[in-house]
Amino acid sequence: MTDTYPPFDNRWFYALVAVGVFLNATGLFPPIMELDSALYACIAKQMAQTGDFVNLYAVGSDWLDKPHFPFWVAAASFRIFGINTFGYKFPALLFFLGSVLYTYKFTRLTYSKLTAQVATLVLLTAFHGVLSNSDVRAEPYLMPLIIGPVYHFYRVFLGDRRYALHLVIGAFLTACALMTKGIFVLIPIGGGLVLHWLLTGHWRELLKPRWYIAVVLSFAFTLPEIYCLYQQFDRHPEKVVFGAKGVSGVQFFFWDSQFGRFFNTGPIKGEGDKFFFVHTLLWAFLPWSLPLYVGVGRQIMGLVKRKNGALPSDSLEYVSLGSGLLTFVLFSLSGFQLPHYMNIVFPFYAVITAQFLVNLNIASLRKWTVGQTIIGLAIAGIAVALLVLVQPAGLISGLVWVAVITLSTFSIFRKNSLLSLSGRMIGSMLVLAGTLNLFLYPTFLRYQAGMATADYVNADAKLARRPTVLYEPGTGVGGGSFWTYEFYAHAPTVYARSDTAMRMQVQKAPQQVFTTAEYADSLESHGFEVKPLAMFPYFHVSQLTYDFMNPDTRAKTLSPYVLVEVRANNEGVKE
């Protein structure tokens, strides 16, 4: 099959890629965001400081939720760049860019250079991918660890003469994915390949020993993870985890972590909505969600209408559709759903989107270019509206940012062509990424009370020398703003989860304590002397509301955290 259009000139393509890399790199500038990113950063920080790469700890206790791989990478980065925001986010950005490279290489195995170019630009600009390079969790790591094995295994299937090397690399990357998220990563990695074989008459691939060797190698490469879990949990049945003793870390890794969430029977539960990802992808894959949906629909219709097992005229492989669709259905049926879950198959969605756009005829492409341009202008309009609403310190600079990029984009990309369509979408996402990461998040993240308090303490020579007790009554990992304090504080921190634990901390000398104003009041009522040192406003910034973003109503959305000095007052103790 030949494309309707020639590939982009390399100079244009590399320039657009450079802009795409830059807009994702703006996520390096805002501080680490609460909640999950801050928790993961604290876990990696402790690993880097102690040199213990076997055990995972959070809030001073054994932690069993996610596997080790991303924490190993972040801890190694901290050893190189120091324990700071850049050290945490930079390796995730590199992994994300690895997924972009693998997407290009995978697309080129079957499709034209133009399709690979468009797929690359789509992946660089899909909104939630950009967002995940600012609010870093496991997804930037997972993306190359899923598309990467698919690329290498597909080369084995195509008969590459270095198939043994590709088989080993594919198995190693699969193991890294397993050690990042768990057993369900085998669905997006293997599901598309198996579906492709079945639908193209290559079902005998399922009988070939090489694929079973790949499975064995993949699990063999996960032995470091199994060893760590066994050492921390299975060897110590006396430990209390999830409120019970005798919890197996190995069993959690292979079953409870993923199957427990899918069936909602594990220790961590959610409330599933079967249509959650249908509407979530509409904004998460902006500005490409509409061509993605139409592209998926066209491929499904091609499957229904195909004759004699032939591939549809606009699709040369079923791997992308299979991996993307199977994962979509799997997560939709799950009892636990979050918007960023679907990021791991964005590379496959980028391929489907690129296939659709590249195969449009000239008249249709003009219509889609106009339609996508309207979406791009709407994104720019949203950026302006947010700037005007939030009134950040750099409001004028933010408005200039939007105006200059928008005008430059439309002055450079004037024609209704595929290059102009791609250029306009990159321009619109540069507007949005810059607005969020350079202007809005710096305003929002000031209300992470833990980070603000840590900065205050670090700047005070007297306070900075003292360790801080984080008073957070309860069990589990908690939440709120304690994790950003733990991460950004230069001095040591220790958690007190009960009044008894707090009393042990202050029995010899007064202690510097960070907690909520409500908890501080409860300490006073339970027989402690509490001396206020500083107070900072808090808001859960990963769940923005209109009232918080509006300066006129922001105050009513805030709750106070306090830095206090606490000492024992045995005369007033109330048990």
| DSSP β-bridge partners for residue 561 | 516, 536
The candidate with the shortest Cα–Cα distance to 402, out of 367, 368, 440, 365, is 440
Distance CA 44, CA 530 (A): 32
Residue 574 half-sphere exposure toward CB, CA atoms < 13 A: 8
Going 488 to 503 to 473 to 72, the CA torsion angle's sign is: positive
Answer left, alpha or beta for residue 407, where phi above 0 means left and psi between -120 and 50 means alpha: alpha
Residue percentage of the chain with pLDDT more than 70: 94
The chain-wide mean pLDDT, for the chain, equals 92
Residues near 422 by Cβ (< 8 Å), separated by ≥ 6?
8, 16, 118, 121
Q: What is the pLDDT of residue 276?
A: 76
Judged against a pLDDT cut of 60, whether residue 1 lies above it is answered with no
Q: For residue 339, what pLDDT band results from cuts at 50, 70 and 90?
A: confident
Mean pLDDT of 435-460: 96
Q: What is the pLDDT of residue 416?
A: 86
Least confident of 12-21, 143-152, 294-303: 294-303
Mean pLDDT of 63-78: 96
Supply 232's token pair.
């921390």
| Fold observed for domain 448-572 | D-Maltodextrin-Binding Protein; domain 2 (3.40.190)
pLDDT tens digit sequence for 242-288: 878 889 999 999 887 776 666 555 555 556 667 777 888 899 999 99
Peptide bond into 287 cis (omega under 30): yes
Q: What is the pLDDT of residue 261?
A: 61
Residue percentage of the chain with pLDDT more than 90: 80
Residue 145 half-sphere exposure toward CB, CA atoms < 13 A: 25
Residue 508's CB is within 10 A of a number of other CB atoms, namely 8
Q: What is the pLDDT of residue 115?
A: 97
Judged against a pLDDT cut of 70, whether residue 336 lies above it is answered with no
pLDDT tens digit sequence for 482-520: 999 999 999 999 999 999 999 999 998 999 999 999 999
Distance CA 496, CA 437 (A): 34
Judged against a pLDDT cut of 80, whether residue 572 lies above it is answered with no
pLDDT tens digit sequence for 86-108: 999 999 999 999 999 999 999 99
* Residue 467 contacts residue 493 (beta carbons within 8 Å): yes
* Residue 465 contacts residue 491 (beta carbons within 8 Å): yes
pLDDT tens digit sequence for 371-413: 999 999 999 999 999 999 999 999 999 999 999 999 999 999 9
| DSSP β-bridge partners for residue 516 | 561
| DSSP β-bridge partners for residue 244 | 241
Residue 276 CA: distances (Å) to CA of 21, 187, 262, 339, 509: 29, 19, 14, 8, 52
Q: What is the pLDDT of residue 270?
A: 55
pLDDT tens digit sequence for 273-326: 677 778 888 999 999 999 999 999 999 988 888 766 565 555 689 999 999 999
Q: What is the pLDDT of residue 574?
A: 44
Q: State the pairing for strand pair 468-471/493-496.
A: parallel
Domain boundary assignment for the chain: 24-267+275-358, 362-446, 448-572
Q: What is the DSSP letter of 34?
A: T
Supply 276's token pair.
């959650």
Q: What is the pLDDT of residue 232?
A: 96
Please, what is the end-to-end C-alpha distance for the chain in angstroms? 79
Least confident of 160-164, 314-318, 429-433: 314-318
